[in-house]
Amino acid sequence: MTLSWTVRSACCAAIGAMLLAGAPGGARASDASAGNEVAAARPETPPAAPRGVTGKAIDAVRSVARSAGDVFSRVPCATPKDVKLEATLPHVARKIASGEHVTIIAFGSSSTASYGASSPAFQYPNRLAEQLRRRYPKADITVMNQGIGGEDTPEMMARLKSSVIEQKPDLVIWQLGTNTVVKGGDIDATRGLLEDGIHQLQAIGADIVLVDPQYVPATTAKEADATKMVGIIGRAARAMKVGLFPRFAVMKEWHNDQKLPFDDFVIKDGLHMNDWGYACFAQLLGDSIIRSVDQVQAGAEVPSNVLTFRPM
């Protein structure tokens, strides 16, 4: 079986770390030993043989895989009780159902780049890709991470053509708004920029899911601004009939209703999610996409491209 991109990335990262460790000032790979990979041909018990770079890299990959597999063992990733996630993404759904190549682009800032994740295995676009590939093993699915930390909506718009449109995506997951709130930017200007970007993406036939700000200490400290931004993104999604993943409401439910402390899903900077947060976000988003694909495969008539969230 071929290693997935995520595992290969983890392996390469581990190998790179091992090689860097041999640089001046770092610990050399030969300084530590583990395991009894090779037995010496002597009657007495030999000392443990040093692990080579490849052996250590394999151990690192296995460790990441185990960690990625049990991230929900402490707290399960439950579908929010106060919102129901329903996706109708007809373009990407029909392409997956028909076995065509599918390109999904995760577009945004640092939470799309998944700052705070402990390894590539926990970056949300990689988690989403693995979930979709497990569900549709015969599908040809690519998830591209086009997140750049610190960007506001104007900076994203400046690279929309090169980072997104020229890649000819079938689905764009556009995360925005948090940096404008946290940095005190022009919230009102977001609406016009966002609508312009949506028009450009609709012109190439891409399905779109907008992702609003995260509910974390850095945004709750400016709750009025955060609520205003959430409203602007939600109204744009409804007016232009595109998808919306209400991350603010979902994460608020984690904290207020599921009683999860912020430390359970946010790193110490009070802004970015941790491994669990990215994993649960990816899981819920993936579940929505899967429901839409299953509708198409079942022969159901899929309405216009709308991702809705309504009370149970």
CA gap 188, 228 in Å, rounded: 9
- Domains plus CATH for the chain? 5-67 (no CATH), 77-310 (3.40.50.1110)
**Structural tokens at position 76:** 């399960």
pLDDT of residue 51: 58
CA gap 90, 99 in Å, rounded: 14
Beta bridge partners of 299: none
pLDDT of residue 290: 87
Q: What is the 3-state secondary structure (H, E, C) of 43-82?
A: CCCCCCCCCCHHHHHHHHHHHHHHHHHCCCCCCCCCCCCC
**Structural tokens at position 261:** 């402390």
pLDDT of residue 84: 57
- Our CA dihedral for 249, 73, 125, 137, rounded to 10 degrees, sits at -120
Instruction: Answer whether 165's CB lies under 8 Å from 159's CB.
Output: no
Backbone angles phi, psi at 106, to 5 degrees: -90, 115
Burial 122-148 (b: 16+ CB within 10 A, else e): bbbbbbbbbbbbebbeebebebbbbbb
pLDDT of residue 236: 94
The whole-number mean pLDDT for each consecutive block of 10 residues of the chain, a chain of 312 residues, reads 40 40 37 35 46 56 54 84 68 87 97 96 96 93 97 97 98 97 97 98 95 97 97 94 92 95 97 96 91 76 42 26
- Secondary structure class of 245 (helix, strand, coil): strand
CA gap 261, 256 in Å, rounded: 9
Instruction: Answer whether 173's CB lies under 8 Å from 214's CB.
Output: no
